[in-house]
Every structure is written in structure tokens, then in C-alpha cells.
Amino acid sequence: MSAAVIHAPFGTPPSGQTPSRPDPALLDGLRNRIRAIERTGGGIVSPTFDSDLDSHLAGNMPVISLGAPEIDEALPWNGLPRTGLHEVFGDAAALGFSAALLARLAEIHIDEGRGAPILWCQQGRDLYGRGLADYGIDPDRVILVHGKNDTEILWAMEEGLRSPGLAAVIGKLHKVPPIAGRRLQLAAEENGVAGLLLRATGYAGPQAPTGAALTRWRATSAPSITPASGLGLGPPQWNLELQRCRLSAASPKQLESAGRPRLWRVEWCHETGDLSVVAGLRDRSDRAPANPTAWIPKSGQSGPNIQNQGDLWQAAV
């Protein structure tokens, strides 16, 4: 049955003829497209040919500011799109970064007079309401869904993304099958809701990123700066890496933003909820491995993998 679908673009082969010889003109067209991708793609930024995405880029996608102009400008939308799927990897800092994003997404809805709830889907019962309140998320607006496995969480997220009236949907997941990721992205885009994929850490085995998300981030903890008083902990600092933006190859913005740093040391301000860039760091894209999954911690290394990140970090600096 699926074979019929695959054959369709090549034209229906005459009966009796095997479908091993597709239309050469079509193949040429595909080759040209791949060449175009290879020419423009900078290793990190992989363009896609999505007509719906193109239209989004052509029009003005509603965005939120992350509080740091450097990061906003590095994004082709001049901010983080409020509709669509975003993926966050990393250690404990990824949770903090996601919470900071959520707070800003939810805040917009308050400004528009909508106290819309946030759907938070995860397996564990370790989300702490008092901590959420510290991050500027009103815990009263959180609907917490406890799934038994990733499938249930993906289903709940999709239901949430398809439902009107939510400010944002976040799901903490181990594995995201490519099709599921694509479905989530479509649901988020069609319904105009933001979805966050928080990729859980401390889990053995490689976690392949989903190709469907609009942006992919990696947030890892970084040593904070001791306050002037010399006592206690300063505001948290994270190494924030924008690993991927999905955008059209035709977009001039992408070319414009190439060569800007995609790796920042940011500090999160508790009072304003803003991120501020502590130090702009050199673009790492020239060093990006050819294999796009090479940054994934090797299986067998469990735990938050801070050491590994530290090494990467050293290499980057």
C-alpha cells in the first residue's frame, strides 16, 4: 500500500514494467535541489523546502523577544516564533531555559488579556510549583499531564497543540520519532500555538533530534559570577547554543545571519525574566562536524554529561 504512495511522484509505471527506472527529468530536478541545499547549508542551518514555512517567513511570524538583542537578531525571525515547535536539549539548564521561554510565551498571552493555561506533559512527578513561581510562571495556569511513556506524552502534546485556548505546550521526552515530531510541528503551526520539546537528560542512549522543530537549542549550565557581596550564588548562567533554525533556502535572512555567533554565555535575570548575553562567543559553525549528530553524547555516558560539555566548551573558546 505504501509502495503505491512512493511510486506516485515518478508516475505510474505501465503495467508489467518494474518501477526501477524513474523519470530521468525528475531525478535531475531532485539532484539540483540537493546541490542547492549543499551550497547554501552552513552545516548547522539546514534549509528546507516547505511551502508552508516559506509563507510563514514571507509574512510576519509573531515572535517573542528573549530579552537579549544579540539572540533575537541571530534568529531569522528577529525573535522566537510564537507558533511552532522548539526543541531544547541540555542538562538541568535546559529546564531553566525552557521555563524562561514558557514564562515569556505565557506573558504575551496575559498582555493580550488571555490568562491561557500552559500544558506541561512529562513522566515524572518532580515538577515543583514553588520553583515555577520563581521562574515567573504562574503555577495556577499549568495543567500538568503525567504520561506513562513517551507515546502518551506525544499524544497529549498533540492534543494540546491542536486545541485552542492554550498559551503553550511543553513536553519532556526521551525519544521523538520523526513522524511524531513532524505532526507536532504541523499542529503547532496550524493552530498558532508554541510547543516546546524538552529533551530529557540523564537517559542512556542517543536522543536523535527531531528535524521538524523550528529551532533547536542546547542549554548547559555554566559557572555563575559571584555577586559583588562575595557571598552566595549569582544569577544562573548558561551556555546557550542555537544549533539549528529551520528556514527556507530562499530566505535572504539566512545568508545575512550566517557568520553570527550561535553560541552565547547568557545570564538569566530573575527579576525581569530576560536573558542577557554575558559574552558573545565565536561562531562554531566552521567547526561543526559533518555528521550532524556527532555532538550527541555517546551512549554509555549517562548522567548530565557536564564533563563532556565542558570539553566542547573548551574547544569552542
Partner 1 sequence: MVTIITVHGGQRIASLNRAARQAGISAGQSLADARALYPALAVQQADPIADAKALNALARAAERYTPWVAIDPDGGLYRGGAGLWLDISGCAHLFGGEDALLDDLLTRCAHAGYQARAGLAGTPGAAWALARLETKETLAAILPPGIRASKRLSPLPLAGLRLEAGIVEGLERMGLRRIGEIYNLPRAPLVKRFGMEITRRLDQALGTQEESLSPRRPVPAYMTRRAFAEPIGRAEDIDAALVHLLDPLCDMLEKAGQGVRRLVFSLYRVDDTVARIVIGVSRPNRDPAHLHRLFREKLTEVDPGFGIEVAVLTAPLTNPLALKQPDISGQQSAKTKPVNELVDVLAGRLGPAAVNRLLPVASHLPERACRTAPVDSAPDKKQDWQKPVRQPPRPLQLLIQPLPIDVMAPVPDGPPVLFRWRRRQHKVSKAEGPERISPEWWHGDGRAPYTPPLSPDIRDYYRVEDDDGARFWVYREGLYRPDRLPAWYLHGFFA
Q: Which of residues 162-181 bind partner 1 (CB under 8 A)?
A: 163-166
Task: Evaluate the CA torsion angle 297, 298, 299, 302 in order and state its sign.
Answer: negative
**Cβ neighbours of residue 80 closer than 8 Å, sequence gap 6 or more:** 63, 64, 65, 66, 72, 86, 101, 215
Per rule CB under 8 A, is residue 97 in the interface with partner 1? yes
Closest CA to 44 of 219, 232, 263: 263
DSSP characters over 39-60: HH--SSS-EE--HHHHHHHHS-
Candidates 223, 252, 289, 300: give the one binding partner 1 (CB under 8 A).
223
* Per-residue DSSP letter, 150: H
Q: Report how far residue 258's alpha carbon sits from residue 260's, in angstroms, rounded to the nearest whole number.
A: 6
Cell of residue 81, nine digits: 516564533
Candidates 2, 38, 125, 228: give the one binding partner 1 (CB under 8 A).
125
Contacts with partner 1 by CB under 8 A: the residue count is: 65
Per rule CB under 8 A, is residue 222 in the interface with partner 1? yes
State which residue, 59 or 223, has the beta carbon closest to partner 1: 223
Length of the chain: 317
Applying CB under 8 A, which part among 5-13, 65-73, 123-131, 281-289 lies near partner 1? 123-131
Cell of residue 211, nine digits: 528535524
Applying CB under 8 A, which part among 22-30, 181-189, 229-237, 280-288 lies near partner 1? 229-237
Candidates 57, 75, 106, 119: give the one binding partner 1 (CB under 8 A).
119
**Cβ neighbours of residue 3 closer than 8 Å, sequence gap 6 or more:** none
- Conformation bin of residue 53: beta by default, left when phi > 0, alpha when psi is -120 to 50: alpha
Q: Which of residues 98-117 bind partner 1 (CB under 8 A)?
A: 99, 114-117
Applying CB under 8 A, which part among 24-32, 52-60, 182-190, 218-226 lies near partner 1? 218-226
Per rule CB under 8 A, is residue 21 in the interface with partner 1? no
Per rule CB under 8 A, is residue 3 in the interface with partner 1? no
Q: How far is the CB of 74 from partner 1 (least distance, A)?
A: 22
* Per-residue DSSP letter, 120: E
State which residue, 223 or 252, has the beta carbon closest to partner 1: 223
CA 141 to chain centre: 23
Candidates 103, 159, 258, 292: give the one binding partner 1 (CB under 8 A).
159
Torsion of CA 196, 202, 205, 207, to 10 degrees: 10
Applying CB under 8 A, which part among 20-28, 32-40, 47-55, 228-236 lies near partner 1? 228-236
Place of cell 544579540: 70
**Cβ neighbours of residue 260 closer than 8 Å, sequence gap 6 or more:** 73, 74, 283
Q: How far is the CB of 117 from partner 1 (least distance, A)?
A: 6
Residues that bind partner 1 (CB under 8 A): 91-97, 99, 114-117, 119, 125-135, 138-140, 142-148, 152, 155-156, 159-160, 163-166, 220-224, 226, 231-234, 236-238, 268, 270, 302-304, 306-307, 309-310
